[in-house]
Amino acid sequence: MADLPARPVLLTGASGALGRVLAKGLAAEGWALRLTDIAPFPDPLPPGASFTEADLTDGVEILRLAEGCGTILHFGGVSVERPFAEVLAPNFLGLYYIYEAARRERARVVFASSNHTIGFYERDVRLDQDVQFRPDGYYGVSKAYGELMGRMYWDKHGVENVNLRIGGSRPKVNDARTLSIWLTYADLTRLVIRATLAPRVGTLVIWGASNNSRGFWGRDGRDVIGWKPEDSADPFIPEQAGNVSGNPIEERYQGGFFCTIGYSRTEPSPREIFPPK
């Protein structure tokens, strides 16, 4: 059995796709998990885990759930592009409660951020961790805000946080874009383990993608936590390279389909360099 976190770990979004993967994988490492979600946990409860149904916008309940925890793995909330009014409460207010809980408990936050924080970069631009945000919708804006909140809580309160800009973490590579952004469940689980157990992290951004030769992303904070992806989307290149949408906006940008949702430009945007030269 590997190292164990010194204190229990709170996992939000436990009933979601990635939450279920993490609940199973981390429980198998012997971790003491407190699982929570607004939806019931659909699987048998893993050993050493408890589950509480709760809404992220119930601040009192979130503070109570985090009591005694050393790490909050924050995977709950709206996970796709939705109207602003739907994103607002879980992803903005809910995230504030997560950080307040972390401040009170002197806990670390591991935040499921997203590639949609930078979705409007062209696909041939290689990005490092410190590029300016170019979110591709309200969901992406909420994730950029989450990262900024982490920065503020680190500077002001010493709350450590690791922001995982997850690409596409799903069981299979199902289109050409996923060849660039795939994060296997095994690499995700190892990433979360390192982000939790690494002795000191400060505030970090890490690109959540496996070792894909077509990847969009470069430098980040992975060396600080000692994580290296072990898997790759490359074996799926022959099968998926031609699996494109035919939509020029979707195919131009790293964020793919999310960029097209509600898109109302009549002229294509000029190629912009950030920061402007």
Contact pattern from residue 81 through residue 100 relative to ligand NAD, giving x for each residue in contact according to CB under 6 A and a dash for the rest: ---------x---x------
Interaction between residue 19 and ligand NAD (CB under 6 A): yes
Count other Cβ atoms within 10 Å, centred on residue 15: 20
Instruction: Tell which positions 50-79 bind ligand NAD, by CB under 6 A.
Output: 55-57, 75-79
Please pick, among 97, 99, 121, 139, the residue that the annotation labels catalytic: 139
The secondary structure of the chain, three-state, reads CCCCCCCCEEEECCCCHHHHHHHHHHHHCCCCEEEEECCCCCCCCCCCEEEEECCCCCHHHHHHHHCCCCEEEECCCCCCCCCHHHHHHHHHHHHHHHHHHHHHHCCEEEEEEEHHHCCCCECCCCECCCCCCCCCCHHHHHHHHHHHHHHHHHHHHCCCEEEEEECECCCCCCCCCHHHHECCHHHHHHHHHHHHHCCCCCEEEEEECCCCCCCCECCCCHHHHCCCCCCCCHHHHHHHCCCCCCCHHHHHECCCHHHHCCCCCCCCCCCCCCCCC
Least CB distance to ligand NAD at residue 241 (A): 20
The residue (of 3 and 12) whose beta carbon lies closer to ligand NAD is 12
Least CB distance to ligand NAD at residue 267 (A): 30
Residue from the set 18, 66, 98, 149 that interacts with ligand NAD by CB under 6 A: 18
Active-site residue flag, 139: yes
The residue (of 169 and 260) whose beta carbon lies closer to ligand NAD is 169
CB of 67 closer than 8 Å to CB of 8:
no
Interaction between residue 141 and ligand NAD (CB under 6 A): no
Interaction between residue 140 and ligand NAD (CB under 6 A): no
The secondary structure of 19-88, three-state, reads HHHHHHHHHHCCCCEEEEECCCCCCCCCCCEEEEECCCCCHHHHHHHHCCCCEEEECCCCCCCCCHHHHH
Q: Please count the residues of this chain forming the interface with ligand NAD, following the rule CB under 6 A.
A: 25
Stretch that binds ligand NAD, among 63-71, 164-172, 195-203, 231-239 (CB under 6 A): 164-172
The residue at minimum Cβ distance from ligand NAD is: 16
Interaction between residue 37 and ligand NAD (CB under 6 A): yes
The residue (of 171 and 199) whose beta carbon lies closer to ligand NAD is 171
Stretch that binds ligand NAD, among 9-17, 26-34, 237-245, 247-255 (CB under 6 A): 9-17
Contact pattern from residue 167 through residue 196 relative to ligand NAD, giving x for each residue in contact according to CB under 6 A and a dash for the rest: -xxx--------------------------
Least CB distance to ligand NAD at residue 166 (A): 3
Contact pattern from residue 105 through residue 124 relative to ligand NAD, giving x for each residue in contact according to CB under 6 A and a dash for the rest: -------x-x----------
CB of 258 closer than 8 Å to CB of 115:
no
Give me the residues that bind ligand NAD (CB under 6 A), please: 13, 15-19, 37-39, 55-57, 75-79, 90, 94, 112, 114, 166, 168-170
Which of the residues are catalytic? Answer: 139
